[in-house]
Chain A
Amino acid sequence: MKDWPLWEVFLRARGGLSHRHVGSVHAPDAELAVRHARDTYTRRSEGVSLWVVPSAQITASDPAQAGQMFEPADDKVYRHPTFYTVPDHITHI
């Protein structure tokens, strides 16, 4: 059990929504990872579809580089589509 790899679990709450990361499970292989994810994360009807991904396969950005990665976007307000007036009858925007 200690040598079981870790799997990241993604859950679709209902049709039409995208899968969202909900946590992780240990399991010896992908099929059992789905079983474990089912028993760990869907016991209260939280979802309709599961993905599992080996945690080792995820490449993450380096927190030490967060400054150069993300801060340059902070002062580019013109990238937000907020510089025009939305007519009142336009909804869902």
Chain B
Amino acid sequence: MPSLPTIAPEAEARAERAPHTGVFDPHIAPHGESTAAYALHLGDDALILGQRLSEWCGHAPALEIDLSLANFALDLIGQATGFLGHAAALRGEGDADRLAFHRDVLDYTNCLMVEQPNGDFGQTIARQFLFSTYQHLLYEQLAVSTDPTLAAIAAKGVKEVAYHAEVAADWVVRLGDGTPESAQRMADGIEWHWRFVDELFEPADVALVAAGIAVDPATLRRAWDARIAAVLAEARLAPPAPRRAVTGGRRGHHSEHLGHLLATMQHLPRSYPGAVW
């Protein structure tokens, strides 16, 4: 089995000693609102992908895959809870649940890739492979953010998303280098998502990057390209041709798919406010 991607040693060290609850650090106060917006976009990415993956529950091609995808979904929703909770704490209002269940499509700032429909298993794996590889590189850097809460969430999450990326890559290779039908479905899945790749690397808030709070995604692109190319080569899949990027998710301009996803996800807390188990 290929070994897991290396995790920066300082990331693991931070996971040990970092606080696991939202702590407002006065020295980031000047960036409070923009940090909240950044935490929101990180949380929205994780939340929407987690919700999407959970749609496989009970429908995956095999029981074992059902469990894997549900585990991934729970990892992501856990990360989202951390990020959204931090955003709420920085703004001094609401909580993670409030942000997850009482915002509309235009207020969501997730990237377009994570809201795309699951399609077949190949399409789901393609999205997971492209996104988790990005998220892994992102969290590695975010784990040394000057915002201790973001750093702690990322340090805990980096091991989770490293595993997601690796399992997805395993499947890309098996489907790509499998039967003619599996290879075609895998290629179609990569093709479907390729137009949403550039959005992942859209620049973050310059002031936040300068303050060491946010990661500049442009710094991740080279490593991402190399990793994707290596796995596609192993899977005997041709790299997709460059194309015009579709963007807008970070500004709330979403595809029609997100509204349907939110309707399912938000129905219960909106219909029965304050409902508890």
> Which residues from chain A sit less than 8 Å from chain B, CB to CB?
1, 4, 25-29, 31-32, 34-36, 39-40, 43
Contacts and interface: CB of A to CB of B under 8 A. Distances in A.
B68 A43 contact: no
Given A4-B62, A34-B1, A43 B71 contact: yes
A17 B3 CA distance: 24
Contacts of A26: 62-64
Contacts of A43: 67, 71
A1 B61 contact: yes
A22 to B, nearest CB: 14
B185 interface: no
Interface of B: prevailing SS: helix
Nearest to B60: A1
Nearest to B68: A39
Nearest to B171: A32
B167 interface: yes
Interface in B48-68: 61-65, 67-68
Interface of B: 1, 61-65, 67-68, 71, 167, 170, 174
Contacts of B71: 39, 43
B64 A31 contact: no
B1 A31 contact: yes
A35 B67 contact: no
Contacts of B65: 36
Contacts of A35: 68, 167, 170
A72 to B, nearest CB: 41
Given A39-B67, A43-B71, A31 B62 contact: no
A29 B1 CA distance: 11
Contacts of B62: 1, 4, 26
B72 to A, nearest CB: 9
A36 B61 contact: no
B174 A28 contact: yes
B68 A36 contact: yes
B69 to A, nearest CB: 9
Contact of B174 (A32, A36, A39, A40): A32
9 nearest CB pairs, A to B: A36-B64, A39-B68, A1-B62, A31-B1, A39-B67, A25-B64, A39-B71, A1-B61, A40-B67
Contacts of A28: 174
Given A31-B1, A34-B1, A39 B170 contact: no
